[in-house]
Amino acid sequence: MLLVSPCRADLRYVVQGVDEPLTRNILSHVEGLSLGRHARLSSRAVEAALDEAIEKAAIAVRPYGYYSASVEGRYRREGDADVTIELRVNPGPPMMLRSVVVDVRGAGADRRDLVAWRDSWPLAAGQRLDQVVWESQKTAGLVAARNAGYLAAEFSEHALELDVENNVADARLVMQTGERFVIGSIDYGEHVLAPGVVENLARFDPGDPYTARLMDNFRVDLWQSGYFTDVEVRETLVPDAVPPRVDLVVDVDTESRNFYQGAIGFGSDTGIRTQLNYRRQPMSRRGDRLDVGIGWQEFDEELRVVGVYRLPRRHKRREFWMLEGTLNFENQDLEFKRDDSDEDFIRLANGDIEERHFRFGRLKVYNLGAGERQLFVTPFAQYLDSERRFSLIEPFAVRSEHPSFDRLLRGNDSAVSVGIDVDSVAVLGRRFETRGSRDRAWAFTGDSVAGDAFDFTQVYLSTRRSYIVGSRFKFLLRAEVGYTDAKVDAVSIDTPEGPLELSATRLPNFYRFRAGGSASVRGYGFEQLSNNNIGSNNIVTASTEVEFRFRPAWSAALFADIGNAFNDWDDPDLKLGLGLGIRWYSIAGPIRIDIARAMDFDGKPWRLHFTMGTPLL
């Protein structure tokens, strides 16, 4: 391989005979040699530079296991000002490893990440000695140990014994982890919030095992709480304590602030969308917080206003009172298909839906897995008031004496319910390396207090998983199932084209399930999969996706999605979507472009999907 150093004012170098990374290492050693801009380029000075370059080139290949290298050199003049030194390197036979011993001892010897570091050691007996790899792996081992809390870890033995005459080496490396450090005292300093507000943000208690990730999460939690304009966490090691500990001093600046955020965008599911958010935090010394958001999207001309008030419970760590209110206005089509394999719906009616939803609950945050996973549990009571007003679309001359049809077109429902919401989140890494899981479940039961008498019970489970395999592959799995015990009306109506059978749940629109779209079953339209396109009692979806990274910030994906929202468990009619996509992991978050085929529609049409954000959240 021929590689020329960048042009200098007096000397430049040409290296031949070896490939990367040896070539660049040779250049990094010899490029520091210079005769000086105003030096006389006498033959004696150039020959001295050549001799030194030959010596340094032989030394530069040794870290890669070549201790018997021979180097030949010559120089040539380029005009009156510059000189080119040519080096031809014969690395010779590499030094081979005769024996390799890598061990972990001490309290952390059985740690999974340290065992993995030891067992995946890349240099083995019979391989070429590579001191660059050797040193990088030593560093990686110490980083893994200290990230796990073994802050006093060191190598009690680290030896490379070289037999230059026989061109073999013996390597021995023993790590002593020492005792694992724990969290010591936590000094929160002075702040304006009431006692317990800031202290309750930590995912740990004094005496819990220390990890670097726990500290990273602590800093992020303090900042994302919104209480502070400045956050600093200082760590002081106390290695002589029993057990050894890390004391923390937290310095924060606190003031009540108003936050405003606006956005405008476009998505394949929603069309044009806009959003404006306001947050006031803290509202008082109690650490209470108010969030208000207003959003509009082109799909269904939906306008939503959401307000959330959160108040930390006094003397209850990581517990909050939550009050949430939602006002929702949208325009929907009542549609039907005579054949479920049709892609297009036939519009029967169009109307407006207005909903007012209020929820009061008590949020409890549990920190699991040394703070790496958080579990959010919220028992709640909620009230919903929903009004619908549909008008028939010409030329349908619909006649029906069934009262359920009138109920389908117009009515007002009010219901109260009680239930529990559970959300478990563990997300690590960033960009392509994002991995982890999110599991969600809720269950509630309710009764109507106005409108047609009905009661209902709903249970929902979902999971999302992301796994990294090697450095290029990522697997994404997701599934959900929802069941509602709510009355379903089978409506038979007359149309000019013959009788039409509709299945309509009495479940309020706010609680209905819908499938299809970029985050559901790709290949099908957004929320296109449900009875009459107005939502259903039940849902089942699943997805499998594999990504292959072909550039640092780019990957390609193949996926298969399946699912549907339906009223009748005897006929779920699950729809299959297959497709491929491209991913760009930008600074603003992952951007995903997919093209998917609806395998269960006539003609198997293709659909383009566009989304932003990690699929775990």
The domain that contains 216 carries what CATH number? 3.10.20.310
Residue with tokens 């999110």, as numbered in its chain: 438
Give the Cβ contact number of residue 397 at 10 Å: 9
pLDDT in tens, 217-237: 888 888 877 777 778 889 999
Contacts of 90 (CB under 8 A, 6+ apart): 17, 69, 70, 71, 72
CA dihedral 224, 227, 231, 235 (to 10 degrees): -80
pLDDT at residue 38, as a whole number: 44
Residue 190 lies in a domain: yes
Domain boundary among 225, 254, 283: 254
**Residue 86 has which token pair?**
């040519």
Are 56 and 198 in a shared domain? no
Give CA–CA dist 71/62, Å, rounded. Answer: 13
Number of domains comprising the chain: 4
Percentage of residues in the chain with pLDDT exceeding 90?
32
Give CA–CA dist 521/576, Å, rounded. Answer: 7
The residue-averaged pLDDT of 361-388 equals 87
Q: Which helix (H) or strand (E) holds 232?
A: strand 228-238
pLDDT at residue 546, as a whole number: 96
**Residue 281 has which token pair?**
């935090």
Domain boundary among 67, 90, 113: 90
**Residue 393 has which token pair?**
């679309």
Note if the bond before 244 is cis, omega within 30 degrees.
Answer: no
Q: Are 458 and 512 in contact (CB under 8 A)?
A: no
pLDDT in tens, 400-412: 556 667 777 788 8
- End-to-end alpha-carbon separation of the chain, Å? 48
pLDDT in tens, 570-605: 889 899 999 999 999 887 778 889 999 999 988 899
Q: Give phi and psi for 561, each to the nearest 5.
A: -120, 150
pLDDT at 35 over 80: no
Are 345 and 453 in a shared domain? yes
Are 481 and 562 in a shared domain? yes
Confidence band, pLDDT 50/70/90 cuts, at residue 6: very low
pLDDT at residue 476, as a whole number: 94
Residue with tokens 């042009």, as numbered in its chain: 7
Are 172 and 187 in a shared domain? no
CATH of the domain at 380: 2.40.160.50
450-454 LR contacts (CB < 8 Å, sep 24+)? 450/385, 450/412, 450/413, 450/414, 451/411, 451/412, 451/413, 451/414, 452/407, 452/411, 452/413, 452/506, 454/486, 454/487, 454/506
Instruction: Give the domain extent around 521.
Output: 313-612
pLDDT at residue 489, as a whole number: 82
Residue 189 lies in a domain: yes
Residue 423 lies in a domain: yes
pLDDT at 457 over 70: yes
Residue 193 CB burial class (10 angstroms; 0-12, 13-18, ≥19): buried
Are 80 and 107 in a shared domain? no
pLDDT at residue 3, as a whole number: 47
Give CA–CA dist 611/266, Å, rounded. Answer: 9
pLDDT in tens, 134-170: 889 999 999 999 988 999 999 998 888 888 888 888 9
478-to-22, 441, 500, 544 alpha-carbon distances in Å: 46, 14, 36, 7
pLDDT at 399 over 70: no
Nearest to 50 by CA among 7, 87, 15: 87
What residue type is 177 in one-letter code?
Answer: T
Are 19 and 115 in a shared domain? no
Give CA–CA dist 288/276, Å, rounded. Answer: 21
Are 150 and 221 in a shared domain? no
Q: How much of the chain is helix, strand and coil, in % rounded to 5?
A: 15, 55, 30
Residue 158 lies in a domain: yes
The residue-averaged pLDDT of 183-196 equals 82
Give CA–CA dist 159/424, Å, rounded. Answer: 46
pLDDT at 37 over 50: no
Give CA–CA dist 116/590, Å, rounded. Answer: 30
Are 339 and 367 in a shared domain? yes
Are 83 and 129 in a shared domain? no
Are 196 and 146 in a shared domain? no
Are 336 and 464 in a shared domain? yes
pLDDT at residue 548, as a whole number: 95
pLDDT at residue 400, as a whole number: 54
Residue 276 lies in a domain: no
pLDDT at 5 over 60: no
Residue 267 lies in a domain: no
Q: Say whether pTM exceeds 0.75.
A: no
> Mean pLDDT across the chain, nearest whole number?
84
Nearest to 18 by CA among 51, 82, 65: 65
Domain boundary among 64, 90, 116: 90
Residue 300 lies in a domain: no
Give CA–CA dist 448/454, Å, rounded. Answer: 6
Are 152 and 49 in a shared domain? no
Residue 555 lies in a domain: yes
Q: Which residue has the higher pLDDT, 255 or 478?
A: 478
Percentage of residues in the chain with pLDDT exceeding 70?
91
pLDDT at residue 378, as a whole number: 95
User: Looking at residue 95, what DSSP letter applies?
Assistant: P
